[in-house]
Amino acid sequence: MAILVLAEHDNSALKLDTAKIVTAARAIGDEVHVLVAGHQCDAVVKAAQALQGVSQVLVADASVYQAHLAENFAKLLVDLAPSYGHILASASSLGKDTLPRVAALLDVAQISEVIAVVSADTFVRPIYAGNALETLQSLDAIKVMTVRASAFDAASEGNNAAVTTLDKEFEAKTQFVSQSLTVSERPELGNAGIIVSGGRGMGSGENFGMLEQLADKLGAAVGASRAAVDAGFVSNDLQVGQTGKIVAPNLYIAVGISGAIQHLAGMKDAKVIVAINKDPEAPIFQVADYGLVADLFEAVPELISSLG
Ligand SMILES: Cc1cc2nc3c(=O)[nH]c(=O)nc-3n(C[C@H](O)[C@H](O)[C@H](O)COP(=O)(O)OP(=O)(O)OC[C@H]3O[C@@H](n4cnc5c(N)ncnc54)[C@H](O)[C@@H]3O)c2cc1C
């Protein structure tokens, strides 16, 4: 049976996560379809068609899908479900909001945060904040699963998949009122190649300015620990960790972060981890590839000036 991937987009651009979920879908089977539900989203459809390994793009273009309400998406996915053996979405806010509804409506188990595909019915996912990996086999006829995008490479482009237009409009009782988005020039945390992250050791929101300078020199995104977010230093969309974003950049620089297990759950898959902490016993040094025992208020300005 075919595999259906829910595309994530903002009606004008396809998110990189979708290309990564397509790679996970390809590990399950050959017939991969992508569902683009949105409004006036032609550019997104083209981008989905281009992904290697996608054989069909299903397009539901209607005003009810403009705001990407999980309630409406879930109804659409449930309607399409009988033709599919697997329904996949990124383990993002949208995926985590939508797929459990789909699983409940189909009366199957929700499989969350898959990081590896063993076979068409067997998957690996982290449990206990990433301290153990669970291999599970699903006996459900339809597998409904969120996939951790950071665990898969993005499918390459160059394809031209067929398009099927769906005439299906499902509207739940939820109404979209408004949204307020954080606008940033820096790369998105989830897809950044380099992340400079600050913790409680930063001492204040103003001091995060130092990390922003460093991030700008490196073309990096800025992240934070939950303690830094809870203290009001930065907004909570920057939080990395078990209850924040899960990231796997090429380089993660942790500044004034102790390395609590819940923080590590969000960043320990980074390829290279650098830690700056004045406490040589800080647990972050156990996962760091490079550790600098130093006062961050001396080390970070030095780093910025040596980067020119
Ligand atoms: C259910 C649950 C979910 C959670 N989810 C998350 C999550 O998603 N993300 C997350 O981050 N946390 C999460 N936490 C919180 C987590 O347990 C820690 O409390 C938090 O990560 C600590 O943040 P921190 O390292 O910034 O602060 P601290 O642990 O206080 O560490 C601050 C560090 O800064 C160093 N420091 C201080 N001053 C300086 C200086 N001048 N120079 C150099 N170093 C300095 C100190 O040595 C220390 O190591 C969660 C907790 C729970 C219970």
Convert the pLDDT of each residue in 29-51 to its tens digit: 999 999 999 999 999 999 999 99
pLDDT at 183 over 90: no
Antiparallel, parallel or unpaired: β 116-119 and 122-127: antiparallel
* pLDDT at 182 exceeding the cut of 80: no
Closest ligand 1 atom to Cα of 276? 43
Ligand 1, atom 19: nearest CA belongs to which residue? Answer: 227
What is the 238 CA–ligand 1 centroid distance (Å)?
14
Nearest CA to ligand 1 atom 23: 227
pLDDT tens profile 191-245:
899 999 999 999 999 999 999 999 999 999 999 999 999 999 999 999 999 999 9
Domains 2-165 and 189-306 in one fold: yes
- Ligand 1 binding pocket, CB closer than 6 Å: 199-201, 225-228, 239-244, 256-258, 260, 262-263, 266, 277-279, 282, 295-297
State residue 211's pLDDT score.
97
Domain covering 2-165, topology: Rossmann fold (3.40.50)
Mean per-residue pLDDT of the chain: 96
**Please, which pLDDT band fits residue 100 given cuts at 50, 70 and 90?**
very high
Q: Which of the four pLDDT bands, split at 50, 70 and 90, describes residue 290?
A: very high
Query: How close is the Cα of 278 to the center of ligand 1, in Å?
Result: 13
Under CATH, to which class is 189-306 assigned?
alpha beta
Domain ranges of the chain: 2-165, 189-306
